[in-house]
Amino acid sequence: MTGQNHNQYLAVPSSGKGAGVLVLHPWWGLNDFIRGVCDRLAQAGFVALAPDMFSGKIARTIDEAEQLVSQLNWQKDVPPKILPAVEDLHKHPAVSGNGLGIVGFSFGGFWALWLARQKPELIRAVALFYATDGGSMDFQPSKTAYLGHFAETDPNEPVSEVESLEKRLKEAHHPTTFYTYPGTGHWFFEEDRQDAYHAVAAQLAWDRTIAFLHDQLEVKSG
């Protein structure tokens, strides 16, 4: 079951049940690519919900995306979109498992890190695609495992920022695994960004993400 309403896109596995995963879009907005990520997560057995942080606006070029982000009051505009989405997902009748996961892309990855601190009682797994926090966050409050996918060459997320985030997560005693993908740049996972998409790296990052989410969110027996 899939559908979009109230500025959210929901995908439910054919089984009707699954662990919940929030999908936070990059600065392009809630576009077809992000809806496709939700559908792929549902095919892998998860209930996926993507809130629209831009209220229906979509960017197709970097200039358009920069304009969308510049128009935001980050602290006033975004939390009212994503905090209720966490509660909606948590309370959804199809959601089972051990807490919720988040998959965040670039701009959405920053907010995935933010949410893990705001909702430690619910968030158990965060998978980041080319996103850091800019060195601004204290991760002691979270109770989350972290997986990161980063590009080899990425002016948007320099190596120093990635290494700083990894160090701070580990110092806060969170299970943390970061990967860097050779020959890639920012947006390498997004097949609609033909100037950046790297099919081999994208598939490997996806396989690792699905395994990570299953491991962290499914109820263990025995």
Classify domain 2-217 at the CATH superfamily level.
Answer: Alpha/Beta hydrolase fold, catalytic domain (3.40.50.1820)
Per-residue CA distances from 23 to 30, 50, 141 (Å) = 10, 5, 21
Query: How large a percentage of the chain has pLDDT more than 70?
Result: 95
Quote the pTM value. Answer: 0.94
Q: How far apart are CA 59 and CA 204, in angstroms?
A: 27
User: Which tens digit of pLDDT belongs to each residue from 36-45?
Assistant: 999 999 999 9
The answer, yes or no, to whether residue 116 has pLDDT greater than 50, is yes
Single-letter code of the amino acid located at 204: L
Tokens of residue 175, six digits: 């299970």
- For the chain, give every domain's residue range: 2-217
The edge-to-edge listing of strands for the beta sheet with 95-105 is 2-5, 8-11, 47-51, 18-24, 95-105, 123-129, 145-153, 176-185
The per-residue pLDDT for 219 is 63
User: Which tens digit of pLDDT belongs to each residue from 68-112?
Assistant: 999 888 788 899 999 999 999 999 999 998 899 999 999 999 999
User: Which tens digit of pLDDT belongs to each residue from 134-179?
Assistant: 888 999 999 999 999 999 999 999 999 999 999 999 999 999 999 9
